[in-house]
Amino acid sequence: MAILSFVGFTLLVAVIAYYATRKTNEGTSDGYFLGGRSLTAGVVAGSLLLTNLSTEQIVGLNGSAYSEGILVMAWETLAAIAMVVTAVFLLPRYLKGGLTTVPQFLETRYDKGVKTIASGLFLLGYVVIFLPIVLYSGSLAISTMFDIPALLGVSLETSIWICVWGIGIIGSIYAIFGGLKAVAVSDTVNAVGLLIGGLLIPVFGLLMIGDGSLGAGIDTLMAAAPEKFNSIGDSKASVPFSTIFTGMMLVQLFYWGTNQAIIQRALAAKNLQEGQKGLLLAAFIKILGPLIVVLPGVIAFYMFGPDLETPDQAYPLLVNKVLPKPLLGFFAAVLFGAILSSFNSALNSSVTLFSIDFYKEYINKEANELTVIRNGKYFGIVLAIASMLIAPMIQKAPQGLFGYLQEVNGCYSIPILTIIVVGYLTKRVPAIAAKIGILSGVLLYIVYLLLKYFVFGPDEMLHYLHVMAILFVLNIVIMLTIGKFYPRETDFELEYTKKVSITPYKHIKVVGIAIVAIVVGIYYYFA
């Protein structure tokens, strides 16, 4: 029954994606990479949410909540504020410039060299870290949920290989041969399923704790583990409260405002109004995220006690305990969709970056759009195969993988955010300042990581989110100083390409303020 519902829902998503995209002209760059710049608010919101939400987050954050409680909700709730800032400040400028990739702006604002450095850093992050880990964590979840080793009579390692290649091949078909619109439509359908399935887990869990009553379940949970419901983390927590006002917001702004795999969905909006409404809708839903990626971890702590071998066991164990068997296949299909989404979104963005910023720029400047797209697909196939080969080798990923990834990604996230912010807020800072800023940011952060893990030890060094904020300010000072003594010859002016309408959503300020107020209210309530 579980396998039938899994296959049925997965096929439904594929059929919907096919019918929604069969008339899209994918013989042009805008058609293939940006879905013809036709995405509406609902599709933008759904694709943003599911691109963000995958197994390493669902399993990882719930594992962190099992260990530390709801203070890890900062990764979810503060994302809503970052999306508001992106909708108000960044997206109007992106759409005014008619961008396909974020690094395109860097070429317009600075020069080709800055764009190439940024694109290379994005690609390196996707290839080396993100794609293999999504495949591995997703395969582990699917293999465990369906007990693939027992089903096929193979070892766990073999089942991981089977799942990795299954997920990788299906995700590659969506991302490489379907283009962005196929990815976005399938994301939207899966997002609905993920919201329903994800909310069912805490509901069934609370009903089990409360003997059939949700209210009694909540009261029992809060009475049994009140320390898990404190939103304020101390200095030894994975997210100390002070970091919310320093590096945490910078990481969120980079992720939601400049990360190609995420912002590409908003760049594909049919106009600024739809893009802004999509971001605001996603921000509002994101506030509810802790119900899916935090609360189940606390419920698991109550049910299984503090002695699980690893916190990452908390969520899968809870799902198998509280979810009725007929719904297990549906939830596995939804989880499968979340895994696919993160994989094929990063793969599609990698193809976009390679095609626009490398192939067209350096390999074949005279190539027509069909040639660019065809060679981008070849690159995507090679990249997918490489990821599928690397993924099963990640057998001993460190505990706290979610936080670990955030820390390592700081090597390129903050430097790129710095040069984009300075690029938009100033008119005379030159390209050399951006190159020095991005390289100094990368090198100084690598030095910090080396000192932290190989010289002094993690407990003796400043929290990485604070270090990110310090380097952000330092690099801005460096860039402004260079701009003062060696300014551009002319002021930078962002040209309006008129690819889409940039009339803003008329209620954006009111809705944006309301979202920020809700986030602050949640923190105050649980403080």
Please identify which residue in the block is written with the tokens 């802790």.
290
Among left, alpha and beta (phi > 0; psi -120 to 50; other), residue 153 is left
**Which pLDDT band holds residue 464 (cuts at 50, 70, 90)?**
very high
pLDDT digits (tens, 9 = 90+) for 393-437: 766 544 455 666 778 888 888 999 999 999 989 999 999 999 999
Side chain identity, residue 246: T
Residue 77 has pLDDT above 70, yes or no: yes
pLDDT digits (tens, 9 = 90+) for 138-182: 887 777 777 788 888 888 788 888 988 888 887 777 656 554 455
- Residue 58: C-alpha distances to residues 30, 242, 399 (Å): 32, 25, 15
Best-predicted range by mean pLDDT among 189-203, 359-373, 466-480?
A: 466-480
Question: Is residue 336 classed as helix, strand or coil in its secondary structure?
Answer: helix
pLDDT attached to residue 156? 77
pLDDT digits (tens, 9 = 90+) for 273-310: 999 999 999 999 899 888 888 999 999 999 988 887 77
pLDDT digits (tens, 9 = 90+) for 353-368: 788 778 877 888 777 7
Best-predicted range by mean pLDDT among 123-137, 219-233, 374-388?
A: 219-233
CA-to-CA distance for 343 and 190, rounded, in angstroms?
A: 14
The enclosing H or E element of 478 equals helix 464-485
DSSP per residue, 387-399: HHHHGGG--SPPS
User: What domains, with CATH codes, occur in the chain?
Assistant: 2-20+39-396 (1.20.1730.10)
Compute how many other C-beta atoms are within 10 angstroms of the C-beta atom of residue 182.
26
pLDDT attached to residue 297? 93
CB 469 within 8 A of CB 246: yes
